[in-house]
Amino acid sequence: MFSGIIERLGKVRGVSLRDRAMDLTIETGLPDLELGESIAVNGVCLTVASFTPDGMADFHLSGETLSRTALNRLETGSRVNLERAVAASTRLSGHIVQGHVDTVGRLVSIEKAGDSFALRIFVPQALRRYVVEKGSITFDGISLTVNELHDGVTDGNETGFTVGLTIIPHTWEHTDLSTLAVGDRVNMEVDVLSKYVENLLRFSPELAKAAS
């Protein structure tokens, strides 16, 4: 489990595609990695397959991961957001993040807003029910607050909505957001609590009746 608070930026040092899978080498800057530990890379929970004492780590991405995330856009030199799994004693400064990507969104616009940046991201309609204004959402592993929602948006042949975000200078400078351009794809994970509430209401008629 993660919190969506990015610990550091890593740099991709190697990308190797083979048989619908990918081997990824990242310079993490973490000298105390452990074999098999989970690290969120741009919000995707990956397993450390091997590492060196100076923090160079290898990850294997299956075809399933590549088909459901935007990690296939990475290339040598790309910067990536890194977060290690939370410990029981860690302050949960963001929200509960699983590192299980729900969909891939598309960056629609970036505008300067004072010393911050205003971003809009297109998201497929199927996830609209899980997103609320001022709620939590994760893009590329970053725990963010939904500032605005705009419905009835089309992106090519796809119908969906856009999420408006305000990115403060610290987040802009210490994550990969400053490297993105309009049109880039980003990994998205909704707040898992909304999924559990939906499931409870679906399979507990008495709760659904009380909620209505």
* CATH number, domain containing residue 195: 2.40.30.20
* Distance separating alpha carbons of residues 142 and 44, to the nearest angstrom: 11
Whole-angstrom distance, CA of residue 96 vs CA of residue 136: 9
What is the pLDDT at residue 128?
96
Q: What is the pLDDT of residue 129?
A: 95
> Which whole number is the average pLDDT over 34-39?
95
Q: Are residues 131 and 192 in the same domain?
A: yes
Q: pTM value?
A: 0.89
* 208 — pLDDT class (breaks 50, 70, 90): low
Number of domains present in the structure of the chain: 2
Last residue within a domain, chosen from 56, 84, 112: 84
Domain membership flag for residue 185 = yes
Q: Are residues 114 and 192 in the same domain?
A: yes
Instruction: Judge whether 3 lies within some domain.
Output: no
Residues 31 and 72 occupy one common structural domain: yes
| Amino acid identity at 204 | S
98 lies in some domain: no
Q: Which of 95, 145, 155 is nearest to 125 (CA)?
A: 155
Please write the tens of the pLDDT for every residue from 149-189.
Answer: 999 999 888 999 999 999 999 999 999 999 999 999 999 99
Domain for residue 212, yes or no?
no
Structural domain includes residue 157: yes
Q: pLDDT tens across 47-78, in order?
A: 999 999 999 999 999 999 999 999 999 999 99
- Name residue, tokens 């004492």: 53
Per-residue model confidence (pLDDT) at position 21: 92
94 is a domain residue: no
In terms of domains, do 107 and 194 share one? Answer: yes
Q: Which domain holds residue 17?
A: 8-84
Q: List the beta strands (DSSP E) in the chain.
A: 8-18, 21-27, 38-41, 44-51, 56-61, 79-84, 103-113, 116-124, 136-139, 142-145, 148-155, 158-167, 185-190
- Do residue 108 and residue 172 come from a single domain? yes
Write the pLDDT tens digit of every residue in 90-142.
777 888 899 999 999 999 999 999 999 999 999 999 999 999 999 999 999 99
3-class SS of residue 159: strand
For residues 73 and 111, membership in a common domain is answered with no
Same domain, 111 and 178: yes
Verify that 193 and 111 share a domain, yes or no: yes
